[in-house]
Structure 1
Amino acid sequence: MLLLGFFLGLAVGIGFWVWQQVQLNRYLGRIVRPLTSHSYKMGLLLTPGLWQEIEMVKQKQQDLHQSLQSYQDLLNFAPVGYLQVDEENQLLWCNQQAQQILYLQRWQPGQVRLLMELVRSYELDHLIEQTRDWQKSQVREWVFHPTYDNAEEISTIKSLTLRASSLPLPNGQVGVFLENRQPLLDINQARDRSFSDLAHELRTPLTSIRLVVETLQNRLEPPLNRWVNRLMQEVDRLISLVQSWLELTQMEANPSTQLQAKAVEVRSLIASVWETLEPLVQRQNLSLAYSGPENLWIKADPARIYQVFLNLLDNSIKYSPSGTSIYVQAKILSPNNRGNAAPEVLEINLIDSGVGFSEADLPHVFERFYRGDKARTHSPPDNNSIGAIVGNGLGLAIVQQILLAHGGSIKAMNHPETGGAWMQIQFPEVMANSLSQDL
């Protein structure tokens, strides 16, 4: 009886549990059935819109791919090189011009390789890093020495002067436009050689013509000698032009050998130049305003530096209104002022109150024979003008070359206060005794 009661109770418990599971499943079925039906109906309603969105996305993707392909085709036919690197300086893409300029024969479209593996150029790598760090476009010009795998062809490859313009792109990428400036430089060098050869050929006949004119001056009486005097002025002007061109060519070819460096006291030299220009100064009632240390010694060629200040002060006098001042400001830039460990530099600013330079002329004022704004062009030579010999279109070009030969620099600007021309000169060879004498 006890065993029968146990099995009877077990059967009743199992039946009750089964009944509960059936009831629970029925209840869940009643709840889920309306929701599933609704969701299915909603899915049917949303499916056409979803497919439409998918088609639109696919179409946009195709349009973007076509645009990208069009841009790549344009860049491939562009006359300048272009390359693009990712955040790790891996070359992603470059056009045909960049492959030719940088000798990227080892790179194939679709490859992703480090740029430094393909192009051994520190300048290009530094330009890219600087662009990425500063997030600003950069421009740099340098001489590129290509490398080549085939040793037999190394002798046929020559160095190129390149100019690169970079721009930052999203996700750390950088794009670089490359311009091969070597053909232009070769043309300029060929032109300069032609002019130098012509100048050499002209010097002898011009000297002969001058001797003939000198003979006529002594034999002709007034008023006929007036024409001979004018002829002498023009011959001297041509001789000066030829000599200036030859000097400029020699300084460019051998800058260091053309200098005889000595200790030069700048303040006294400027005063000597001003005395030479005294006739022009008195005619226009001009004055020289100097500010800075009295004893400034530099290591330079006295004759060449004299020529620099003679040309610059003569130009300032020509374009200064009567009764104004020409300002000469001198100061020594210490390493602390320039934020580096470089030696001290003497900076001299020459400022006049004339019309200044036009914005279009400023980048070209040191070019040979450049003629820009008529307000800043030289007037016809005057008998009493010291600058009549200088004003041949080569004056500022010679000034720049002299300073470059000394390791210095010159910059042309317009002064914000006077509105006139502002020439800023820097000499790196400041002698130590300049400071001791000043103290």
Structure 2
Amino acid sequence: MILWWVNSHHFKNQLGKILTSSPDIADLTPSFSALSLVRREILYLQHQSQKKTEDLQKQQQILNLAPIGYLYIDPDNQLLWCNQQARQLLQIERWQPGKIRLLLELVRSYELDQLIERTRQAQTPQTEEWVFYRSNYGVSSSFDDALTAITLKATSYPLSKGEVAVFLENQQPLIELSQSSDRAFCDLTHELRTPLTAISLVAENLYNRLENPERRWAGQLLRETHRLSQLVTDWLDLSQLQANPNQMLTYESLELRALIDSVWQTLEPLAQEKQVTLIYNGVSSMELWGDRSRLFQVFLNLLDNSLKHSPSHSTIDINLQLIQYNQKIEVDIIDSGSGFIEADLPYIFDRLYRGEPSRMRQGNDVLSRRQGSGLGLAIAKEIIMAHGGTITAKNHPETHGAWIKLVLKQGLKE
């Protein structure tokens, strides 16, 4: 009997160490039988499981009401869960909650797959924006059949054990709003072209006939009319580049350094006025396949900006190099001015963006006060993108001046 009691007491003590979920199990162990302790533990675990299930369902309900899409991906790229917005954006119909399937079976998107893979490898949040082409195969009438392509922006976050969370935003309404605004402005510029030409002719006629002080007023009117006409021309040029970039380019083999030299010869009278020198570094010769007149326009705009914002008796550096492994050309244009305002950098290549007045630096001379249409950098970006390249702006760490980097495909014709 004593041996049974000792064994029973020892068993309950061991059971009390095992059954640790319930907070009061240690106090109840001496008073309750082993069977009662097990039953109490089971009931407690059932209650906790039910509570966690309810919390999970509540979180899923909240995510289902969210205006952005959500995907929950496991380490094997299987879709564990997604909300209603994600199903609508990606046209996911062959998936039901609780049924785990490969994401590739449900969504055919190379960009999304690469985003998830990058997130796992880097273990940092990643962002990607792309045009997603939605297939009409197997799509029910509950989805908008008229819309076959939308612009999506995805932000992914690494979770534990290789899982990834992806949030999706529909950028299509913003794209369409921007396109509508651009079309309206383009139509307006078309309408302004004829009256501006007429005003320019009248102003020029008055300027030739009047005497001072009326002549000065007519001259001011003529200059402002020319500036507005240039704005209209630049805007139409930019709109055509965005709409049909390939149709706006005429490709030929050209030597890049010779092209840059010809641009600098155009600006040399202004450079001599400020005593600014161009310093060329890098390979002596570099051929590429591109549109000569358009690339001339790009370098003319960039060097003109550098010259305009450079202090007197300074230099503008151009560094040119070929990246062998991908056959791309890097061109760095660095001036010695005061650089860009950091807050302006994300918007440097936006239409009509001029930045803070302090960017009009060293503004005591006429050259620095020259103003363009505000579209030069936007046009330069579109031309470079049409060539399959990129253009970025930042401040150089040594000169503290503006640093424009161009990356172009060499793309020599075979």
What's the TM-score bracket when you normalise by the shorter of the two chains? Answer: 0.7 to 0.9
Give the drift of 1:245: 0.5
Closer, same or farther: CA 310–38 of 1 in aligned 2, 3 Å:
closer
Kindly indicate whether the alpha-carbon contact (under 8 Å) linking 1:140 and 1:165 is maintained by their aligned counterparts in 2. yes
**1:109 is matched with which residue: 93, 97, 105?**
97
Equivalent position of 1:9 in the other structure:
none
Please give the per-residue CA displacement for 1:338-365, whole angstroms capped at 9, x wherever unaligned. Answer: xxxx4x2221100012222233222211
Q: Secondary structure at the match of 1:368?
A: coil
Kindly indicate whether the alpha-carbon contact (under 8 Å) linking 1:351 and 1:415 is maintained by their aligned counterparts in 2. yes
Q: Within 2, Cα distance between the matches of 1:220 and 1:41? A: 114
Q: Within 2, Cα distance between the matches of 1:48 and 1:198? A: 83
Equivalent position of 1:189 in the other structure:
179
Please give the per-residue CA displacement for 1:355-397, whole angstroms capped at 9, x wherever unaligned. Answer: 2223322221111112333322599999x659947x1110100
Is 1:35 matched up with 2:6? yes
Q: Secondary structure at the match of 1:235?
A: helix
Kindly indicate whether the alpha-carbon contact (under 8 Å) linking 1:132 and 1:168 is maintained by their aligned counterparts in 2. yes
**1:85 is matched with which residue: 61, 73, 84?**
73
- Give me the CA root mean square deviation: 3.1
> For residue 305 of structure 2, what is the amino acid of its counterpart?
N
Equivalent position of 1:374 in the other structure:
357
Per mean C-alpha deviation after superposition, the further-off stretch among 418-427 and 56-65 is 56-65
Q: Secondary structure at the match of 1:100?
A: helix
Is 1:98 matched up with 2:86? yes
Kindly indicate whether the alpha-carbon contact (under 8 Å) linking 1:277 and 1:386 is maintained by their aligned counterparts in 2. no
Please give the per-residue CA displacement for 1:80-101, whole angstroms capped at 9, x wherever unaligned. Answer: 1001122222221111211111
Closer, same or farther: CA 96–155 of 1 in aligned 2, 3 Å:
closer
Q: Within 2, Cα distance between the matches of 1:106 and 1:91? A: 11
After TM superposition, list the pairs within 5 Å mapping 1:276-315 onto structure 2: 276-315=266-305
Kindly indicate whether the alpha-carbon contact (under 8 Å) linking 1:263 and 1:300 is maintained by their aligned counterparts in 2. yes
**2:400 is matched with which residue: 419, 425, 429?**
419
Q: Within 1, Cα distance between the matches of 2:12 and 2:368? A: 100
Equivalent position of 1:393 in the other structure:
374
Kindly indicate whether the alpha-carbon contact (under 8 Å) linking 2:309 and 2:362 is maintained by their aligned counterparts in 1. no
After TM superposition, list the pairs within 5 Å mapping 1:190-205 onto structure 2: 190-205=180-195
Q: Within 2, Cα distance between the matches of 1:234 and 1:41? A: 96
* TM-score (structure 1 length as normaliser): 0.81
Equivalent position of 2:33 in the other structure:
none
Closer, same or farther: CA 149–345 of 1 in aligned 2, 3 Å:
closer
Q: Within 2, Cα distance between the matches of 1:411 and 1:136? A: 23
Q: Secondary structure at the match of 2:194?
A: helix
After TM superposition, list the pairs within 5 Å mapping 1:308-347 onto structure 2: 308-335=298-325, 342=326, 344-347=327-330
Q: Within 1, Cα distance between the matches of 2:256 and 2:364? A: 29
Q: Secondary structure at the match of 1:177?
A: strand
Give the drift of 1:38: 4.8
Closer, same or farther: CA 263–255 of 1 in aligned 2, 3 Å:
same
Q: Within 1, Cα distance between the matches of 2:241 and 2:393? A: 21
Q: Pick the structure with more helix per residue.
A: 1
Kindly indicate whether the alpha-carbon contact (under 8 Å) linking 2:360 and 2:368 is maintained by their aligned counterparts in 1. no
Please give the per-residue CA displacement for 1:72-124, whole angstroms capped at 9, x wherever unaligned. Answer: 23322222100112222222111121111111233232322222222222322
**2:123 is matched with which residue: 120, 128, 135?**
135
Structure 1 unaligned blocks of 5 or more: 1-28, 336-341, 434-439
Equivalent position of 2:32 in the other structure:
none
Equivalent position of 2:28 in the other structure:
48
Equivalent position of 1:16 in the other structure:
none
Give the drift of 1:66: 4.6
Please give the per-residue CA displacement for 1:126-185, whole angstroms capped at 9, x wherever unaligned. Answer: 322332344332222222111234579685232111111111212322111111111111
Closer, same or farther: CA 237–36 of 1 in aligned 2, 3 Å:
same
Closer, same or farther: CA 415–380 of 1 in aligned 2, 3 Å:
closer
Q: Within 1, Cα distance between the matches of 2:43 and 2:159? A: 30
Kindly indicate whether the alpha-carbon contact (under 8 Å) linking 2:337 and 2:361 is maintained by their aligned counterparts in 1. no
Q: Secondary structure at the match of 1:184?
A: helix
Q: Secondary structure at the match of 1:144?
A: strand
Q: Secondary structure at the match of 1:356?
A: coil
Please give the per-residue CA displacement for 1:309-357, whole angstroms capped at 9, x wherever unaligned. Answer: 111111112222222211111111111xxxxxx4x22211000122222
Q: Within 1, Cα distance between the matches of 2:161 and 2:50? A: 23
Equivalent position of 1:171 in the other structure:
161
Q: Secondary structure at the match of 1:222?
A: coil
Q: Secondary structure at the match of 1:221?
A: coil
Kindly indicate whether the alpha-carbon contact (under 8 Å) linking 2:135 and 2:148 is maintained by their aligned counterparts in 1. no
> For residue 351 of structure 1, what is the amino acid of its counterpart?
I
Kindly indicate whether the alpha-carbon contact (under 8 Å) linking 1:314 and 1:386 is maintained by their aligned counterparts in 2. no
Equivalent position of 1:68 in the other structure:
56
Per mean C-alpha deviation after superposition, the further-off stretch among 227-236 and 89-98 is 89-98
* TM-score (structure 2 length as normaliser): 0.85
Equivalent position of 1:221 in the other structure:
211
Q: Within 2, Cα distance between the matches of 1:244 and 1:136? A: 41
Equivalent position of 2:34 in the other structure:
none
Closer, same or farther: CA 133–265 of 1 in aligned 2, 3 Å:
closer
The structure having more radius of gyration, on CA atoms, is 1
Q: Within 1, Cα distance between the matches of 2:256 and 2:155? A: 40
> For residue 354 of structure 1, what is the amino acid of its counterpart?
G
Q: Within 1, Cα distance between the matches of 2:12 and 2:231? A: 95
Per mean C-alpha deviation after superposition, the further-off stretch among 351-360 and 420-429 is 351-360
Q: Within 2, Cα distance between the matches of 1:37 and 1:306? A: 94
Q: Secondary structure at the match of 2:381?
A: helix
Closer, same or farther: CA 237–380 of 1 in aligned 2, 3 Å:
farther
**2:259 is matched with which residue: 246, 254, 269?**
269
Identity score, percent: 48
Kindly indicate whether the alpha-carbon contact (under 8 Å) linking 2:127 and 2:155 is maintained by their aligned counterparts in 1. yes
Q: Within 2, Cα distance between the matches of 1:177 and 1:190? A: 27
Closer, same or farther: CA 57–286 of 1 in aligned 2, 3 Å:
farther
**2:134 is matched with which residue: 127, 146, 167?**
146
Give the drift of 1:54: 7.4
